């Protein structure tokens, strides 16, 4: 097909300043694919969550896994500006990334630190570790003695998650052992809920009873934790009795409910949208196979569009021939196997589709919306996994949409 002068002009307008022009900033939406982060929605979600909390309860934003795929630095700055009180990450490296970005908020490391070098790095970067075993306490205590410095630490109790932490029945011996090292400043005692997003709340209540039993044990030795925290996003949304001094909120910050039965509690707005551009349009005859393995074969002549995004960007290959996207506000089916860098759409009924048009994979276009929850339901997984699957080669672009 020979392009008209008008079509060529359109293409040049769309792709000018693209990756083919290296002098142009590469964070522009003229790229093949990108993620948009709505700072207005994120700020709104912080306010919605804070509205559920009493003035005595602080908000800790969980920004691990690169802010659940949204960009940890971008999220952290926005959350703190919106009234957040502290941050949590999973690893030492994630904490250092925030410090290198000149973020000064308290940062809790939720994962395990088990080497002398990591302890020294914590001190240097002023990060706050989780202590969850006696050997770990000994390592920290002895290392800090040699360094001649103190460090705020958070003690984790296992109340039924069976993951990190000392058993709740051992709270007294745990705290007493930590107190043998004056260099360890106990900043909080906390636990983590295993089933807070489920409708049946019996085990969640049992974990709360165990947590409060542990606190009562500590009261018997005249130890009062400066801060207690137990609630994740689900518990924060469903019951204020779980709020204590601080809540640790992840998924809800990003505008998704941990469970459908909790979705009406707060007016949360999705923060992330995934978009890409049509890079080629072609007509195929009846009988033509599409993509690897010819999982899709055209039964009649079709018009298809190639889109510059694939499983290397975080679009699950298992969505092949099941995925729908939004093009000009309409749902369009994806066909054939999703490939590493590209996928194909059937645009036979999209008369006005053009090269360079924006396709929305997750997000809203006009009156239609596709969410990470939709993908998760199709794949039999959870929205957390979908959000964390988007790769770094997709630039994260800040947008501020009107409320």
Scored b (16 or more CB within 10 A) or e, 298-318 reads beeebbbbbbbbbbebbbbee
Give the model confidence (pLDDT) of 22-65 as tens digits. Answer: 444 444 556 899 999 999 999 999 999 999 999 999 999 999 99
Going by C-beta distance under 8 Å and a sequence separation of 6 or more, which residues neighbour residue 9? Answer: none
What is the tens place of the pLDDT at every residue in 307-323?
999 999 999 999 999 99
Q: What does pTM read for this prediction?
A: 0.90
**DSSP code per residue over 75-126:** HHHHHHHTT--EEEESSHHHHHHHHHTT--S-EEE-S---SHHHHHHHHHHT
What pLDDT shows up at residue 381?
A: 97
Helix (H) or strand (E) holding 302: strand 302-307
Question: What is the structure's pLDDT at 111?
Answer: 97
- What domains sit in the chain, N to C, each tagged with a CATH number? 5-35+271-399 (2.40.37.10), 39-262 (3.20.20.10)
User: Which of 78, 75, 81, 102 lies closest to 89, judged by CA?
Assistant: 75
Phi, psi of 6 (to 5 degrees): -65, -40
pLDDT in tens, 118-165: 999 999 999 999 999 999 999 999 999 999 999 999 999 999 999 999
Per-residue pLDDT tens digits for 80-103: 999 999 999 999 999 999 999 999
Q: Any alpha helices (H) in 3-38, and if so which ranges?
A: 5-15
Tokens of 318: 């298992």
3-state SS, residue 231: coil
Q: 216 by DSSP, 3-state: which? A: helix
| Residues annotated catalytic, as ranges | 64, 292
Q: What percentage of the chain exceeds 70 in pLDDT?
A: 92
pLDDT of 20 reads 40
* Token code pair at residue 112: 């395990």
**pLDDT of 243 above 50:** yes
Q: Inter-axis angle of helices 134-147 and 171-179, to 10 degrees?
A: 10
Q: What are phi and psi of 187, to 5 degrees?
A: -95, -30
Other CB atoms within 10 A of residue 335 CB = 23
E strands present in 142-291: 151-158, 166-167, 184-190, 228-229, 246-249, 272-284, 289-290
For 235-267, what is the HEC assignment?
A: HHHHCHHHCCCEEEECHHHHCCCCCHHHCCCCC
How confident is the model at residue 402, as a pLDDT? Answer: 61
Q: Is the pLDDT of residue 3 over 70?
A: no
Q: Which two tokens stand for residue 164?
A: 């990190």
């Amino acid at each position: 097909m020979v392009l008209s002068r008008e079509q060529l002009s359109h293409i040049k307008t769309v792709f000018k300043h693209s990756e083919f022009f290296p002098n142009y900033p590469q964070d522009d939406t003229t790229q093949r694919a990108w993620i948009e982060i709505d700072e207005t929605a994120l700020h709104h979600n912080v306010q919605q969550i804070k509205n559920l909390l009493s003035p005595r309860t602080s908000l800790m934003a969980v920004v691990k896994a690169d802010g659940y795929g949204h960009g940890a630095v971008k999220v952290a700055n926005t959350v703190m500006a919106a009234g957040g009180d502290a941050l949590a990450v999973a690893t030492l490296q994630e904490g250092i990334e925030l410090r290198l970005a000149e973020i000064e908020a308290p940062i809790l490391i939720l994962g395990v630190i088990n080497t002398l070098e990591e302890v020294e790095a914590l001190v240097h970067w002023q990060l706050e570790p989780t202590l969850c075993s006696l050997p770990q306490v000994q390592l920290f205590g002895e290392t800090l003695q040699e360094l001649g410095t103190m460090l705020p630490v958070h003690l984790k109790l296992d109340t039924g998650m069976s993951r990190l932490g000392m058993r709740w029945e051992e709270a007294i011996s745990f705290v007493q052992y930590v107190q043998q090292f004056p260099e360890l400043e106990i900043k909080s005692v906390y636990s983590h809920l295993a089933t807070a997003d489920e409708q049946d709340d019996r085990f969640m209540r049992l974990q709360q009873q165990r947590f409060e039993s542990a606190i009562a044990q500590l009261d018997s030795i005249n130890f009062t934790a400066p801060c207690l925290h137990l609630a994740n996003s689900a518990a924060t949304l469903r019951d204020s009795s779980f709020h204590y001094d601080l809540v640790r909120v992840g998924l809800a910050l990003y505008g998704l409910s941990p469970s459908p039965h909790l979705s009406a509690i707060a007016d949360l707005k999705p923060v992330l949208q995934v978009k890409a551009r049509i890079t080629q349009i072609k007509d195929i005859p009846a009988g033509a196979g599409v993509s690897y393995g010819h999982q899709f074969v055209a039964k009649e002549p079709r018009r298809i569009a190639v889109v510059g995004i694939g499983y290397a960007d975080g679009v699950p290959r298992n969505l092949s021939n099941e995925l729908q996207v939004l093009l000009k506000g309409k749902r369009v089916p994806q066909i054939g196997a999703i490939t590493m860098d590209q996928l194909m759409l059937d645009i036979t009924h999209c008369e006005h589709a053009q090269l360079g048009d924006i396709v929305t994979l997750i997000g809203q276009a006009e009156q239609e919306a596709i969410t990470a929850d939709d993908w998760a339901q199709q794949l039999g997984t959870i929205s957390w996994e979908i959000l964390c699957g988007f790769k770094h080669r997709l630039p994260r672009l800040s947008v501020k949409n009107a409320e």
